[in-house]
């Protein structure tokens, strides 16, 4: 029955709309889901009203992120009703981390949902859809199967029909064994696993053949990567980056997100040795207080973090840093928070993300004593964000008048404008020709915007050597410490 439904429909083109929430890994997963659906006759649409299948790829990291899903299901149910009036059938599926965490609860709370499946089930998507269409009620699949889903997903589609951008995500590692006490990831994404080196290299080559020039390696704990190498040994992230850097046509490499404990010597040195590895690192620290880091079970203290940053900056003086911070973790006092502010002032960040602590069901911190009142969390968040914004602005301002290499990715909003990324991941807007897209060119920065830079192509002049930018020095000056 299941088989017939799928086969019958194989030739008919059906449309899938995917809405993605949360982190870059979900963006990557959404691409792989649509790749997995292609053999079942699905093509992607950006219009939910045009979609036979609506998928919400969800995030569970903070409460707000999870709540959004239920209101979106409500909106999609209305879309389904409108389509039903026109005689069209629509399936609604919830994927991702909310699906993994809440499972059956989702269909109890939102009976409009036909399909619920976790991140480890994406390769089974065509079969799940067929089962749902066979029609004995909602289909829920949140198992952590023994098989490796990457082995069962179709290879990344590198055909010209499948539009790829100039930059792409590539998941190399999934899951986390760290168990920070605030975090749902070890429960929703499961134990740490790394893809084999050959699978990563193969996928990278396919992406490059499809026009990609920059790859961002992804993992919940990407620098814990320990994939099986072609020599039968486990390779760390540094070795993987080195092998990727040897691929012709790949111009830039990045990786995210990392844990301070896993910044080993080889990886720190790779920041000096690999030209293709961009001088920008997202390294979450969460707090500047040793007491809170301990309660968070972060397995590192302030000193370890400072030590890593110092070594990284020795290797790569223009390294720009990003991080994640949580304010109002249970038990966080004014003195603890002051330590976080102090760490930010001492280190200087080119940009960062900061969040109010959000209790997550089933995590140890949810039931800890001394939960911090909302008003205090809000106050601390404002103070921290003001400081981080000041540093981000100071960093951007320090780049005015310098030359940066920019990889151009797309047309800008204004006519004649093209947009690329600086080595430090900032969007850079210039007046220029479309044929710059996919190219790296030298840009002289002339002005800064809220979250981006503006500049002009630097005329080729062999006498002008690119100036190196000492980010750490400028940040320290900008932070006023
Ligand atoms: N509350 C607030 N922020 C959280 N993060 C993870 N879990 C929580 C939580 N329960 C933040 C961390 C992490 C980022 C992805 O989200 O800072 O690094
Ligand atoms: Fe969550 Fe990151 Fe901690 Fe893992 S290391 S538990 S993903 S915050």
150 lines ligand 1 (CB under 6 A): no
Mean pLDDT of the chain: 91
259 lines ligand 1 (CB under 6 A): no
> Which residue, among 181, 26, 180, 155, has the nearest Cα to 94 in the 3D structure?
26
Q: Which atom of ligand 2 is nearest to the CA of 184?
A: 1
pLDDT tens string 83-95: 999 999 999 999 9
Phi, psi of 158 (to 5 degrees): -105, 15
Query: What is d(CA 428, CA 395) in angstroms, rounded to the nearest whole number?
Result: 14
User: Mean of the pLDDT values across residues 155-184?
Assistant: 87
User: Mean of the pLDDT values across residues 15-20?
Assistant: 97
For residue 66, the model assigns a pLDDT of 79
Distances (CA, A) of 131 to 1, 97, 102, 298, 415: 9, 22, 20, 42, 48
Which ligand is closest to the CA of 258, given by its number? 2
323 lines ligand 1 (CB under 6 A): no
For residue 463, the model assigns a pLDDT of 43
Q: Which atom of ligand 1 is nearest to the CA of 353?
A: 17
Q: Which atom of ligand 2 is nearest to the CA of 179?
A: 6
For residue 261, the model assigns a pLDDT of 97
220 lines ligand 2 (CB under 6 A): yes
Contact present, 58 and 94 (Cβ < 8 Å): yes
Sequence-distant (6+) residues with CB within 8 A of 467 are 402, 403
Cα-to-centroid distance, 216 and ligand 2 (Å) = 19
Task: Locate 204 and state its tokens.
Answer: 């990278």
Q: Which atom of ligand 1 is nearest to the CA of 359?
A: 10
365 lines ligand 2 (CB under 6 A): no
Query: What is d(CA 201, CA 45) in angstroms, rounded to the nearest whole number?
Result: 29
For residue 228, the model assigns a pLDDT of 97
For residue 300, the model assigns a pLDDT of 97
Query: What is d(CA 237, CA 264) in angstroms, rounded to the nearest whole number?
Result: 9
Instruction: Answer whether residue 468 shows pLDDT above 90.
Output: no
> Which residue, among 94, 25, 21, has the nearest Cα to 53 in the 3D structure?
94
Cα-to-centroid distance, 284 and ligand 2 (Å) = 9
Instruction: Answer whether residue 164 shows pLDDT above 70.
Output: no
Contact present, 271 and 317 (Cβ < 8 Å): no
Query: What is d(CA 86, CA 333) in angstroms, rounded to the nearest whole number?
Result: 58
Instruction: Answer whether residue 447 shows pLDDT above 70.
Output: yes
Work out the burial of residue 449: count CB atoms within 10 Å of its CB; fewer than 13 is exposed, 13-18 middle, 19 or more buried: exposed
Query: What is d(CA 188, CA 174) in angstroms, rounded to the nearest whole number?
Result: 11
For residue 465, the model assigns a pLDDT of 45
Instruction: Answer whether residue 432 shows pLDDT above 60.
Output: yes
358 lines ligand 1 (CB under 6 A): yes
Please choose from 23, 62, 221 the residue to mutate so as to test ligand 2's pocket, defined by most ligand atoms within 8 A of CB: 221
Which ligand is closest to the CA of 182, given by its number? 1
Q: Work out the percent of the chain whose per-residue pLDDT is above 90.
A: 83
115 lines ligand 2 (CB under 6 A): no
Query: What is d(CA 481, CA 470) in angstroms, rounded to the nearest whole number?
Result: 17
For residue 477, the model assigns a pLDDT of 35
The residue with greater pLDDT, 474 or 200, is 200
The residue with greater pLDDT, 454 or 123, is 454
The model's confidence at residue 160, banded by pLDDT at 50, 70 and 90, is low
Cα distance between the two ends of the chain = 69
Instruction: Answer whether residue 162 shows pLDDT above 90.
Output: no
For residue 197, the model assigns a pLDDT of 98
User: Mean of the pLDDT values across residues 80-107?
Assistant: 95
Cα-to-centroid distance, 103 and ligand 1 (Å) = 21
Query: What is d(CA 51, CA 83) in angstroms, rounded to the nearest whole number?
Result: 9
Q: Going by CA atoms, what residue is nearest to atom 14 of ligand 1?
A: 324
User: Mean of the pLDDT values across residues 322-350?
Assistant: 98
User: Mean of the pLDDT values across residues 338-349?
Assistant: 98
For residue 474, the model assigns a pLDDT of 42
116-125, 286-295, 315-324, range with the lowest pLDDT: 116-125
Phi, psi of 442 (to 5 degrees): -80, 130
For residue 114, the model assigns a pLDDT of 96
For residue 461, the model assigns a pLDDT of 55
For residue 161, the model assigns a pLDDT of 60
Task: Locate 283 and state its tokens.
Answer: 């390294």
Q: How far is CA 339 from the centre of its chain?
A: 28
The model's confidence at residue 260, banded by pLDDT at 50, 70 and 90, is very high
Instruction: Answer whether residue 312 shows pLDDT above 90.
Output: yes
61 lines ligand 1 (CB under 6 A): yes
Longest dimension (CA), the chain: 73
Which ligand is closest to the CA of 299, given by its number? 2
Q: Which residues are bridge partners to 419 per DSSP? A: 410, 429
124-138, 164-178, 181-195, range with the lowest pLDDT: 124-138
Q: Residues 260, 262, 265, CA angle at the centre, nearest 5°?
A: 100
Instruction: Answer whether residue 431 shows pLDDT above 80.
Output: yes
pLDDT tens string 376-393: 999 999 999 999 999 999
Q: Work out the percent of the chain whose per-residue pLDDT is above 70.
A: 91
Q: Going by CA atoms, what residue is nearest to atom 17 of ligand 1?
A: 324
Print the SS3 string covering the chain.
Answer: CHHHHHHHCCCCCEEEEEEECCCHHHHHHHHHHHHHHHHHCEEECCCHHHCCEEEEEECCCCHHHHHHHHHHHHHHHHHHHHHHHCCCCCEEEEEHHHHHHHCHHHHHHCCCCCEEECHHHHHHHHHHHHHHHHCCCCEEECCCCCCCHHHHCCCCCCCCCCCCCCEEEEECEECCCCCCCCCCHHHHCCCCEECCHHHHHHHHHHHHHCCCCEEEEECCCHHHCCEECCCCCEECHHHHHHHHHCCCCCCEEEEECCCHHHCCHHHHHHHHHCCCECCEEECCCECCCHHHHHHCCCCCCHHHHHHHHHHHHHHCCCCEEEEEEEECCCCCCHHHHHHHHHHHHHHCCCEEEEEECCCCCCCHHHHCCCCCCHHHHHHHHHHHHHHHHHHHHHHHHHCCCCEEEEEEEEECCCCCEEEEECCCCCEEEEECCHHHCCCEEEEEEEEECCCCEEEEECCCCCCCCCCCCCHHHHHHHHHCC
Which ligand is closest to the CA of 187, given by its number? 2
The residue with greater pLDDT, 460 or 17, is 17
pLDDT tens string 267-305: 999 999 999 999 999 999 999 999 999 999 999 999 999
Query: What is d(CA 82, CA 166) in angstroms, rounded to the nearest whole number?
Result: 37
Contact present, 58 and 99 (Cβ < 8 Å): yes
The model's confidence at residue 150, banded by pLDDT at 50, 70 and 90, is confident
Q: Which atom of ligand 2 is nearest to the CA of 296?
A: 3
> Which residue, among 164, 152, 155, has the nearest Cα to 121 in the 3D structure?
152
Contact present, 445 and 455 (Cβ < 8 Å): yes
The residue with greater pLDDT, 318 or 460, is 318
Q: Residues 83, 52, 93, CA angle at the centre, nearest 5°?
A: 105
pLDDT tens string 42-77: 999 999 999 999 999 999 999 888 788 999 999 999
């Amino acid at each position: 029955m299941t088989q017939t439904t799928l086969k019958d429909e194989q030739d008919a083109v059906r449309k899938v709309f995917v809405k993605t929430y949360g982190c870059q890994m979900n963006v990557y997963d959404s691409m792989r889901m649509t790749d997995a659906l292609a053999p079942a006759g699905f093509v992607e649409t950006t219009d939910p009203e045009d979609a036979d299948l609506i998928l919400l790829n969800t995030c569970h990291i903070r409460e707000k992120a999870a709540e959004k899903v239920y209101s979106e299901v409500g909106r999609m149910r209305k879309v389904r009703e409108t389509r039903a009036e026109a005689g069209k059938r629509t399936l609604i599926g919830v994927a991702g981390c909310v699906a993994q965490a809440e499972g059956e609860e989702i269909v109890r709370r939102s009976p409009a949902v036909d399909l619920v499946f976790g991140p480890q089930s994406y390769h089974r998507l065509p079969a799940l859809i067929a089962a749902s269409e066979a029609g004995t009620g909602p289909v829920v699949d949140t198992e952590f199967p023994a098989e490796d889903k990457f082995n069962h997903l179709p290879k990344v589609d590198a055909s010209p029909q499948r539009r790829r951008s100039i930059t792409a995500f590539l998941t190399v590692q999934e899951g986390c064994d760290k168990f920070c006490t605030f975090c749902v990831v070890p429960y929703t994404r499961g134990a740490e696993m790394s893809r084999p080196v050959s699978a990563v290299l193969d996928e990278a080559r396919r992406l490059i053949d499809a026009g990609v020039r920059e790859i961002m390696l992804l993992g919940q704990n990407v620098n814990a990567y320990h994939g099986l190498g072609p020599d039968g040994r486990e390779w760390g992230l540094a070795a993987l980056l080195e092998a990727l850097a040897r691929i012709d046509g790949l111009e830039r490499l990045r990786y995210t997100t990392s844990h301070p404990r896993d910044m080993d010597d080889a990886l720190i040195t790779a920041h000096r040795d690999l030209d293709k590895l961009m001088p920008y690192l997202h390294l979450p620290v969460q707090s500047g207080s040793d007491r809170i880091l301990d309660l968070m079970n972060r397995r590192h203290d302030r000193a370890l973090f400072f030590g890593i940053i110092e070594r990284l900056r020795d290797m790569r003086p223009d390294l720009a840093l990003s991080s994640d911070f949580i304010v109002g973790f249970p038990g966080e006092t004014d003195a603890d928070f002051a330590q976080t502010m102090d760490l930010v002032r001492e280190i200087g960040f080119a940009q960062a993300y900061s969040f109010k602590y959000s209790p997550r069901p089933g995590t140890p911190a949810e039931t800890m004593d001394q939960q911090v009142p909302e008003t205090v969390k809000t106050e601390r968040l404002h103070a921290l964000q003001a400081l981080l914004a000041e540093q981000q602005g100071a960093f951007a301002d320090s780049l005015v008048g310098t030359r940066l290499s920019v990889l151009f990715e797309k047309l800008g909003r204004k006519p004649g404008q093209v947009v690329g990324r600086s080595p430090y991941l900032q969007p850079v807007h210039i007046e220029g020709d479309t044929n710059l897209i996919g190219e790296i060119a030298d840009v002289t920065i002339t002005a800064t915007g809220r979250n981006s830079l503006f500049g002009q192509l630097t005329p080729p002049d062999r006498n002008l050597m690119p100036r190196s930018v000492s980010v750490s020095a400028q940040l320290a000056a900008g932070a006023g410490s």
